[in-house]
Structure 1
Amino acid sequence: MNPLDNSVWMWNGRSRDEVNQYVEFRHEFTLPQQAEQASLYISVDSEYAVWINGTWADAGQYDDFPDHKAYDRLPVGHLLRQGNNVLCVLAYYQGVNSFQYIPGTPGLIYTLETGMETIRSGSDAYCRLSPAYISGPIPMSTAQLGFTFEYDAARRDGWINPEYRMTDEWKRSGPGRAADEYPAWYARPVRKLDVKERCGSKLITQGVYVRQAAPSDAIVAELMQSDYLSHRLSRSIFEGGSSLSLPSFGGMSIQPGAFQENGGVYLVLDMGREECGFLELELDGEEGAVLDIAYGEHLDDLRVRASVRGKHFATRYRCGKGRQRFTHYMKRWAGRYLQLHISGVKEKFVLYYAGLRSVEYPVEWKGEFRCPDRLHRQIEQVAVRTLHLCMHEHYEDTPWREQALYAMDSRNQALCGYYAFGEYEFPAASNRLFSEGLKEDGYLELTAPARSPFTIPSFSFLWIVQLEEHLLYSGDLEQAQAMLGIVRRMMDQHTARLRGGLLVTPGSSGYWNFYDWERGLNGAAATKPGYGGLEGTRFDAPLNLFFAMALEAAGGMADACGDAAAARGYRETAHKVKAAVHEQFWDATALAYRTYLGGDEGDHYAELTQSLALCARVCPEPAAADLRRRLSCPDNGWVPVSLSYALFKFQALLDEPELYGQIVFDTIADDWGHMLYRGATSFWETKDGADAFGQAGSLCHGWSAIPVYFYYAYILGVRPVEPGFRVFRVEPVRTVFHQASGTIPTPYGDIQVEWKMTPDGLVLHLEHPEGTVRES
């Protein structure tokens, strides 16, 4: 029986149709004795935070779909007591599309199982619209993330305290929707996030600011971005004895005389590295003082970039009176720096903490990579941290700007995660989220869970590649069987559209024909307002090469699931597509593959196109060897690959490791080392860093963790041949280092490998778990 079956999906009846709602629920009950084994089952649209008897218990709804929602099981017995108890929930309803959320009907449901009593959501709970949070339409942070927030601490009244007495504004909760319209509930498919300690922060500059004249409805982020800043020495801002590091027992006390009429004091805090978590403040101030708070990943402008290209990374906190503490549990922030603009202070302001309370997916770092080169070891360490920072409810492209699950990004992330963490349920859950976004045209939604006005066709094919790789690394035949039906529907639709063995590039405005961020590959027009789609018929080599890879991956899945006929059919179709690609796109004069045929793109030759042709085994020998040689040259005349798509280039070159291994790993040292030398604590979206995308580039992007994959799969040389590493090969690249060693986690246990080159050749020491076999 589902633990939520007899509970009520409830909401504040007066605000069901509004967006950006913060609703407080309070449920008082009595227990005859303490219930140490009690569990709270809870689900909400969109986010929640829970307190029991005044103590915070947990927060965070799994990203799911409105008609079937995940519930969390929270062990809360240690917070309960004999006699009177109170359960308090702050529930947030977003109500508008974003890149990880689809609006449903607002609602909260819970069941508290104590072993003696069962406490259920329903008419015994009381609710009200939060008086402290601003509900209703407010500025969006980004289209991908949803709304910013504003909070007035002077309006909070201690509603989570056990002794609190409800006033007339509290009403009995009503049903959020009719009983026959309830979502279907299922248990959270991945582990609950860990909310950890406060990230330490250090004051790195301070001064006063003057605010320019602005309309009363001006956006906080834009105000902060345009405030005039003037540096001051710390002794002219702070009282003697103030700490310049947070958290601080004594606090950072600002002199009241430092504040100006038309502005105030600004502080810039550095957490030391990229972090992701919940904003937390602790301070002692006076009612009416205002903190405008911006967060970001860099100080390239000598300030935190609070607003850029319509994206807003700032919020407002209005102080209450006296000592106060605030944590915003409804949305994670990410970055390295906070900038505080403090105003309205007349007598006192002491800051004890401002920063992030770290939020992490609980995963163990199981892989180990050791080599003689310190730079490569550091790259591996930072790449794994980048990967971990981009794992929460699912894989994320960037925890700062989007927090969105994309198939291309997650494919890179999963490949690295198998080696770093040996964790398989997390990528499996991400795969399932994608599967629920299959559209009528046979493509997936752009992100999951989401509804977007356009999608990227090539990403759908990479998802199928990712499914087969998940089978190969995890041995999870059950998921392969569950996903194969969806893959069949996709492949049947696309195969039926083949023209002369090739897929026509989908041309309407609902498709973003993106392949890389480089020139001529980013399908830029599709992201502009008023884009009407492609004119005429066009064929794209990258799309067809990704399709061929997907067909072969589908064949591998069908084989593993015992459908030999389907596997044969997919492979035969893949062979036809690859033959058509070579026949139609190969330019015998340029000795390379064109990127496009038809349309108005003209002659376009890209490293990505050549790399995909080599990875898909489209190019016959000896032309493939010549193509690989030219691909290895830095001045080959082709449009280069970006950091993320370098995976295909590196794989193509490592088909001849003795010739190109050194080039591949020197490129990793140059490109990823460049970021480290620039002070990176996580790896960037592109090599342009913060300047990319009109100064909105991410400095922590999961797809840039790919060195992890190449260190383990090629330097250590361990790759699975049959599902779950049941059979694996060991083929280390020996031209880069003279020795290497490490640990590769597998479903059967760890593979330990150590090798070195001697005058007599390769000496390899290998230990592998029972049930696995090294390919001879």
Structure 2
Amino acid sequence: MDIVSKLTDAWWLSARGSDADHVNKHNAARNEVAYFRRSFSLVKPATLVLSISAHSRFRLWINGQAVLSGPCKGDRWRHYYETINVSSYLTAGDNVLAVKVVAYSPYEAQPPGWGGPFSVTSNAAGPCLIASGRCVAEDGEILADLATGKPGDEWLVCLDDAVSWEAYGPTHFMGGMERVAGARLPHHWNLPGSTENGKWHIPIRRWKADGRPYGIIPPFPLMERPIPLLYETSRRFRSEVDVKKGNREQFSFIEGAAEPQPAVIPPHSKRKVVLDAGELMTGYIILPLSGGQGSRVTLLYAESFSKHREGGFPLKGKRDDAKRYDLIGQQDVYLPSGERETYEPFWFRTFRFMQIEVETCDEPLVIDSPEIRETGYPLNVQSSAVSSTAWIRPLWDVSVRTLQRCMHETYEDCPYYEQLQYAMDTRLQILFTYAVSGDTRLALRAIDDYHASLLPEGILQARYPCMESQVIPAFSLHWIFMVEDYYWQTGDPSVAVRYRATIDSVLDWYDRKLGPQGLVHRLGYWEFIDWVEAWDELHGAPTATLTGPSTIHNLLYVYALQSAARLSRLGNRFEVADEYEARAGHVLQALQRLCWSESSGLYREGPECEQYSQHAQIWAVLTGLASGEQGRQLIRRMMDRDDLLQCSYAMSFYLFRAIEKVGLYEETEQMWKPWRDLLELNLTTWPEDPFMQRSDCHGWGALPLYEFTRCLLGVKPGAPGWETIRIEPHCLSLQDMRGQAITPKGMVRVNWFIDDGAIHISGESPEGTPLLVAMPDGSSCCMPQGGAFRLSCPAAGNSETSLDREGNA
């Protein structure tokens, strides 16, 4: 397919003109803002399918209505464009397309936090726009051609001198926060009508969309967006918080009224209000106001109430405790022009609480209740899990929200602090997405992103897309797991074949790190494994890395070799698969010889490191180094000891998998205590880790989505692509569980309960797909055509199982 098929008739427009130097004098961060608009008139109804992109980012309005933001995050080699049907925004008579473009300064040009988000690619081109679309009447007549750069087109641009940026250290990955002088903005520019003379000029035509001859790659290699558009939904803050602190009186939008009312802030006064969205939110803020020339309005965004802590992230307790804690967070500042206007920060913000702080001058300021345009990836949650056990429902609901808030144009580690896509985090978030929606589109995009991050030495970047390159060697291995997960979800081997060279490159990089003991060591970069408190001084890297090989790193390498061997066979590369298995076997032999402690019955952290963790035992089981009864006894010893280094949320998934593999899953109920305890803190999403708790929303914490569907309901693929389905529920101490799990073959419904010493399981699976139901007593039933089922067995004891499928024995 032609990668620029929707924009071949358009040219890139540059905003830089005669007043560019003037703009930069007012813009200390060297980010640049430009406003593009295209007026046109329609004499009869028309349809318009618009394709659009910009450097670095844009937000589009049509006739004053917000439409979308973009372009989808890309990199130097993939600059995406969006295509959307905007016919519903058109009106008879005058219309206007209005595009705000922000060009972030190149990463190297600014200290961290002053430019743009690390996840957004930028260069020195400045604000640029490209768009194409035709307004077509029902009879086929073209009423307006809106392509940029055509001779005689009517696009205009205005360079901004009103917005500057200021870094906020803790979230410097997100770029600077806005400082806006309202009097210098081109107000009402996104509405039909005349523009202010003197500020608007004709933009400069720069590059044709379809590139350059002789194979030269253009500055912005255009490709169509690979994922759905983000949704935007109008929301309101749920309540106001009573905060009686400091020298500012409170004001209110509610004051007992059924609907929020405008607040009037008197002259020469200082007032504030704290608004609670009711849950952690990602969205665009829209703040209408009027009057108040000379005033200052500060918007502060916070995940929770907290306290400053010396040398660390804020100290948190109950997240909505406004009496003992304060609001600490990012701030946008707006200086009203004195006219009727609306302030909208360009980038969406992450918050549960927002404080509006006002200081007026000689005029009163009127502020309307702010609107939130919630945004995120359109995750279609179809699975569900319900139980009479009280903690099941809240853990599920908080997990769904956590996953949703960490999905936008990529998967994200945390929406408040970074909005960066990290490989280890992303692998888990993809599995959780498969469990609740079955959607593979963002997963496939992530797989391709990491492939595109490959460095010349053969290792992947840990987070991508990102303007700052970072390597965490183990994260490249998690990417390999990600590729195999995709195969199991879809049954499509082409993705594994497509990226086999990248998989080989990563594993060859590791092979070059083999030392004289037969183990990989001295990996370099950041040898992170997990946020373990005992490893805090090494920022999550095992202590063993200080003295030699790390058992955990080597086991991860083995697990990746085993995964790559299976993937290699999909492409008929049997010799490569054999080679990978042989490599894995040699490393396992060295680990058994050098890292097994006979006295403790555990694997130590390294040949020269007498430290013990859950992590080493987990990966010993997952790789098969400890298998069968040996693996079962290893996990029992691990669970019986409370002096081992513990897995945080980041590694809990693998802890559950190892316990499940050795047949002890029924003993995992105690492991839900950290999640249940967090509910007492009034969190609405799961935090990053149990002891530092930097972020209140981190995708890897949404583990219940996987465990409840795959293990408590027990719905799993029996073969790649779900060509067979397996239902194997685990009861723990629960008395019942019901719900459904989405699969590529259709919905699987399961309902089980314990009554009078027996377990009763019923449900329905897609017709035509073979089904195996494995009962808790060890019995099983195979249904070659799937369909409805009803089974019972004793809660313990014999293996006699009764089957009733649509009344047939």
Q: What TM-score do the two structures reach when normalised by structure 2? A: 0.83
- Deviation of the 1:589 alpha carbon: 2.4
Q: 2:342 aligns with which of 319, 325, 337?
A: 325
- Deviation of the 1:520 alpha carbon: 4.4
Paired residue total: 720
1:454 aligns with 2:470: yes
In the alignment, residue 307 of structure 2 is paired with which amino acid?
D
Structure 2 SS opposite 1:488: helix
- Give the match for residue 8 of structure 2: 5
1:120 aligns with 2:130: no
> Which residues of 2 match residues 17-416 of structure 1 at below 5 A?
19-31=30-42, 33-36=44-47, 38-81=48-91, 84-97=94-107, 98-104=117-123, 105-106=125-126, 107-115=128-136, 116=142, 117-122=144-149, 124=153, 125-134=155-164, 142-157=171-186, 158-176=188-206, 180=212, 181-206=218-243, 229-230=246-247, 232=249, 243-244=254-255, 248-256=259-267, 259=269, 264-301=270-307, 313-328=330-345, 330-354=346-370, 356-416=372-432
Deviates more, 1:199-208 or 1:480-489: 199-208
For the residues of structure 2 that align with 1:743 and 1:661, how far apart are their CA atoms? 21
- Deviation of the 1:247 alpha carbon: 10
- Give the match for residue 452 of structure 2: 436
- Deviation of the 1:34 alpha carbon: 3.2
1:516 aligns with 2:527: no
- Give the match for residue 548 of structure 2: 538
For the residues of structure 1 that align with 2:536 and 2:206, how far apart are their CA atoms? 43
Residues 578 and 754 of structure 1: is their aligned pair in 2 closer, same or farther, counting only changes over 3 Å?
farther
Structure 1 SS opposite 2:465: coil
Q: Note the alpha carbon deviations across 1:273-313, whole angstroms, 9 max, x for none.
A: 1111112212233112111111111113399x99979x961
Structure 2 SS opposite 1:122: coil
Q: Note the alpha carbon deviations across 1:57-115, whole angstroms, 9 max, x for none.
A: 22232111133211111211223345543322101112344541232344221112323
1:665 aligns with 2:672: no
For the residues of structure 2 that align with 1:467 and 1:644, how far apart are their CA atoms? 19
For the residues of structure 2 that align with 1:164 and 1:597, how far apart are their CA atoms? 75
Deviates more, 1:759-768 or 1:291-300: 759-768
In the alignment, residue 733 of structure 2 is paired with which amino acid?
V
- Give the match for residue 325 of structure 2: none
For the residues of structure 2 that align with 1:245 and 1:418, how far apart are their CA atoms? 45
- Contact in 2 for aligned 1:3/1:41 (Cα 8 Å): yes
For the residues of structure 2 that align with 1:536 and 1:139, how far apart are their CA atoms? 34
- Give the match for residue 211 of structure 1: none
Unaligned runs of 5+ in 1: 209-228, 528-532
- Give the match for residue 734 of structure 2: 737
1:707 aligns with 2:723: no
- Deviation of the 1:245 alpha carbon: 8.2
- Deviation of the 1:205 alpha carbon: 2.7
For the residues of structure 2 that align with 1:246 and 1:404, how far apart are their CA atoms? 41
Deviates more, 1:181-190 or 1:614-623: 614-623
For the residues of structure 2 that align with 1:419 and 1:526, how far apart are their CA atoms? 28
Structure 1 SS opposite 2:306: coil
Residues 141 and 594 of structure 1: is their aligned pair in 2 closer, same or farther, counting only changes over 3 Å?
closer
- Contact in 2 for aligned 1:12/1:174 (Cα 8 Å): yes
- Contact in 2 for aligned 1:43/1:108 (Cα 8 Å): yes
In the alignment, residue 84 of structure 2 is paired with which amino acid?
L
Deviates more, 1:338-347 or 1:415-424: 338-347
- Contact in 1 for aligned 2:513/2:523 (Cα 8 Å): no
- Contact in 2 for aligned 1:281/1:354 (Cα 8 Å): yes
For the residues of structure 2 that align with 1:306 and 1:82, how far apart are their CA atoms? 57
- Contact in 1 for aligned 2:522/2:545 (Cα 8 Å): no
In the alignment, residue 533 of structure 2 is paired with which amino acid?
R
In the alignment, residue 144 of structure 1 is paired with which amino acid?
F
- Deviation of the 1:630 alpha carbon: 2.0
In the alignment, residue 183 of structure 2 is paired with which amino acid?
A
Q: What TM-score do the two structures reach when normalised by structure 1? A: 0.86
- Contact in 2 for aligned 1:548/1:578 (Cα 8 Å): yes
Residues 606 and 438 of structure 1: is their aligned pair in 2 closer, same or farther, counting only changes over 3 Å?
same
For the residues of structure 1 that align with 2:500 and 2:767, how far apart are their CA atoms? 30
- Give the match for residue 627 of structure 1: 634
- Deviation of the 1:481 alpha carbon: 2.6
Structure 2 SS opposite 1:275: strand
For the residues of structure 1 that align with 2:488 and 2:255, how far apart are their CA atoms? 51
- Deviation of the 1:513 alpha carbon: 0.6
For the residues of structure 1 that align with 2:565 and 2:425, how far apart are their CA atoms? 23
- Deviation of the 1:177 alpha carbon: 5.6
Q: Note the alpha carbon deviations across 1:614-651, whole angstroms, 9 max, x for none.
A: 22221245442332112223x43111111221112122
Residues 138 and 517 of structure 1: is their aligned pair in 2 closer, same or farther, counting only changes over 3 Å?
closer
Residues 171 and 82 of structure 1: is their aligned pair in 2 closer, same or farther, counting only changes over 3 Å?
same
For the residues of structure 1 that align with 2:134 and 2:592, how far apart are their CA atoms? 63
For the residues of structure 1 that align with 2:539 and 2:706, how far apart are their CA atoms? 33
For the residues of structure 2 that align with 1:160 and 1:273, how far apart are their CA atoms? 31
Percent identical pairs in the alignment equals 24
In the alignment, residue 283 of structure 1 is paired with which amino acid?
L
- Deviation of the 1:138 alpha carbon: 6.1
For the residues of structure 2 that align with 1:377 and 1:709, how far apart are their CA atoms? 14
- Deviation of the 1:680 alpha carbon: 0.9
Structure 2 SS opposite 1:644: helix
Structure 2 SS opposite 1:403: coil
For the residues of structure 1 that align with 2:626 and 2:224, how far apart are their CA atoms? 47
- Contact in 2 for aligned 1:408/1:459 (Cα 8 Å): yes
Q: 1:675 aligns with which of 663, 675, 678?
A: 678
Structure 1 SS opposite 2:612: coil
